[in-house]
Amino acid sequence: MTLLDAARAVREMAYAPYSRFKVGAAVRGASGRIYSGCNVENVAYPEGTCAEAGAIAAMVAAGETELVEVCVIGSSPTPTPPCGGCRQKLAEFGRTDTPVLLATTDGKTLATTIGELLPGRFGLDHMADRP
């Protein structure tokens, strides 16, 4: 199964009764294993979680902390990008050159990288002078 197939499949499982916008995300860990996640909304809107967060949580729960490839898919007119918070979450476990494939349900794709999605990210180096 490709990363795109995994993201497309998990998107079907999204719980999105409020936005009615289903998102699927899949990440490949350094082991080669694929982890997937979907958005899970809540009636208390800010408590909802993004698809990327679910995929990352599945990867970490399986004992992996390095992702080497990412895919996000939604039914948007142009390939669905990760939100700002998810860009930071992806950056935690990936590298600036980690490939990210954005996709639409009608077959459009856009290839990018974590670094292109989050230039100037906040990193550990910014906390260099902490005690």
Binding residues (CB under 6 A) for ligand THU: these are: 16, 19, 21, 23, 39, 41, 48, 50-52, 82-83, 86
DSSP-assigned letter for residue 128: T
List 12, 52, 64, 92, catalytic entry: 52
Nearest approach in angstroms of CB 6 to ligand THU is 15
Say how far apart CA 36 and CA 57 lie, in whole Å: 9
Say how far apart CA 63 and CA 90 lie, in whole Å: 16
Say how far apart CA 53 and CA 36 lie, in whole Å: 9
Nearest approach in angstroms of CB 113 to ligand THU is 16
Nearer to ligand THU, 31 or 42 (CB): 42
Q: Decide if 41 is catalytic.
A: no
Nearest approach in angstroms of CB 38 to ligand THU is 7
Let me know: does 73 contact 8? Beta carbons within 8 Å. Answer: yes
Residues acting as catalytic residues: 52
